[in-house]
A and B are shown apart, each in its own frame.
Chain A
Amino acid sequence: MLKKRIIPCLDICDGRTVKGINFIDIRDAGDPVDLAKRYVQEGADELVFLDITATHENRKTLSALVEKIAMEINIPFTVGGGINSLQDVSLIIKAGADKVSINSSAVKRPLLITEIAKEFGSQCVVVAVDTKFISNEWIVYVNGGRIPTLLRTMDWVKQLEESGAGEILLTSMNNDGMKTGFALDITGAVSLAVNIPVIASGGAGTMEHFKEVFEYTKASGALAASIFHFGEIPIPTLKKY
């Protein structure tokens, strides 16, 4: 049987792991390579690294970090943050990442998804969708959740599937950092609407929240950060749960 995936996410800022609440208020959470190795030992199914500084100057720092991670860990991992072009993707994949995650750049130029899928395969393209429930509608946000777009989340995810995205990483900004559970409504709706894996993100606080999202939605995986970093939920216990 195909297993549901538990995916720790490491937000990277200047080579360190950090975590914010509701996309702001950042706390230091340690060395990414050490943390990644710990997660692998604990049985994480996959890892996601998001470079939240994501400027052109630190592209080289990021690819050096990706190389280091690839040497040390033996499970699939995704790298995202500030990826704007096929060249950016190529740099990250050659450094040893299995997948890249794009977000604002996909909204700006959806063709980028198709280009990456053609060059490296769909399995390589994760599109991160940051969404917020506002005025009775789920809307897509970009730039690390700072800027709302005119895109309705349900329309956008269907377009992503058609463009060749391999996976959708769906973060509810209403739930992120709140530890009150994943957004079951939008995760459920998106995972029913598309025929590609959907990873639920934002809001995990207890083991029950993971069970809930897998029971009530068709999500293929669930992602969380701080509850793993600070040891609030040990991964081995969660996987047995």
Chain B
Amino acid sequence: MIAIIKYNAGNIKSVENAIRRLGYDCMVTDDEALIRAADKVIFPGVGEAASAMKYLKAHGLDKLVLSLKQPTLGICLGQQLMCSHSEEGDTACLGIFGADVRKFPSRELVPHMGWNNMEQLKGKLFEGISDLDNVYFVHSYYAGLTDDTVATCRYILPFSAAMQKDNFYATQFHPEKSAGVGERILKNFLMLQ
């Protein structure tokens, strides 16, 4: 069973649909026991960092995410919330990844919206994916590059398109909206041991 963490951030339906299309069972839940018992956990999110963190804390979900031992995937805002700090609402985040999240300087259109490719792809998440493949991004804030970066995207500046540390995985892009390439990345995550 795959658990998708339910909190005050949108985009949950499309993640759920994507997982079901891959033939996996999933549930959207904020129940601690169910999340702990899941094979994999997905921490999705479209929304605003400060209000999302506030909600997570109020419901004890911040400590729960930090204590998870199974493969856990943060998507979009999920990745940003797994970093140390976000400039959006000057928010202290979960601190799984040692990156700071900042707003893109407006030298180009912000948000970074649309299909972009990535470089320096590392690890199991990107098995079968090349740096010519495109994935779908929609975001105004980005996580900088750190030792945990496993994919780099360039828009205005280079940033972390994906990160990994221990059992924690995260993507700034939306695999659930990235056609066949995204499907492969999600499948790679779901097949992790």
A and B, one complex?
Answer: yes
* Chain A binding surface SS class: loop
Chain A residues with Cβ under 8 A from B112's Cβ?
2
A32 contacts the other chain (Cβ, under 8 Å)?
no
Give per-residue flags for A166-188: 1 if the beta carbon is below 8 A from chain B beta carbons, else 0.
Answer: 11000000000000000000000
Query: What residue of chain B has the Cβ atom nearest to residue A67's Cβ?
Result: B13
Q: Determine, out of B89-97, B113-121, B122-130, the stretch whose residues face the partner at the interface.
A: B113-121
Chain A residues with Cβ under 8 A from B134's Cβ?
3
Name the contact of B10 in the complex, choosing from A70, A75, A93 (C-beta under 8 A). A93
Structural contact, B10 and A120, CB atoms closer than 8 A: yes
Query: What residue of chain A has the Cβ atom nearest to residue B116's Cβ?
Result: A2
Chain B residues with Cβ under 8 A from A70's Cβ?
13-14, 17
How near does chain B come to A217, taking the closest CB pair, in angstroms? Answer: 13
A-B contact count (CB 8 A): 75
Chain A residues with Cβ under 8 A from B136's Cβ?
75-76
Query: CA separation between A11 and B3, bound complex, in Å?
Result: 36
B178 contacts the other chain (Cβ, under 8 Å)?
yes
Given contacts A2-B114, A2-B155, A220-B114, contact A71 B10 (CB under 8 A): no
A96 contacts the other chain (Cβ, under 8 Å)?
yes
Q: How large is the interface on A (under 10, 10 to 19, 20 to 34, 35 or more residues)?
A: 20 to 34
Number of interface residues, chain B, beta carbon within 8 A: 34
B109 contacts the other chain (Cβ, under 8 Å)?
yes
Query: What residue of chain A has the Cβ atom nearest to residue B137's Cβ?
Result: A2
Give per-residue flags for A98-125: 1 if the beta carbon is below 8 A from chain B beta carbons, else 0.
Answer: 1000000000000000000000111100
Given contacts A123-B46, A195-B106, A195-B109, contact A96 B115 (CB under 8 A): no
How near does chain A come to B27, taking the closest CB pair, in angstroms? Answer: 16
How near does chain A come to B53, taking the closest CB pair, in angstroms? Answer: 16
Structural contact, A74 and B111, CB atoms closer than 8 A: no
Chain B residues with Cβ under 8 A from A121's Cβ?
10, 46-48
Structural contact, B179 and A75, CB atoms closer than 8 A: yes
Chain B residues with Cβ under 8 A from A75's Cβ?
136, 177-179
Query: CA separation between A40 and B180, bound complex, in Å?
Result: 9
Query: CA separation between A172 and B168, bound complex, in Å?
Result: 48
Name the contact of A123 in the complex, choosing from B113, B115, B179, B182 (C-beta under 8 A). B113
Structural contact, B46 and A2, CB atoms closer than 8 A: no
Structural contact, B109 and A76, CB atoms closer than 8 A: no
A18 contacts the other chain (Cβ, under 8 Å)?
no
Query: CA separation between A166 and B112, bound complex, in Å?
Result: 11
How near does chain B come to A190, taking the closest CB pair, in angstroms? Answer: 13
A1 contacts the other chain (Cβ, under 8 Å)?
yes
Structural contact, B109 and A220, CB atoms closer than 8 A: yes
Given contacts A2-B155, A3-B134, A123-B111, contact A40 B13 (CB under 8 A): no
Query: CA separation between A93 and B11, bound complex, in Å?
Result: 9
Given contacts A74-B178, A76-B136, contact A166 B115 (CB under 8 A): no
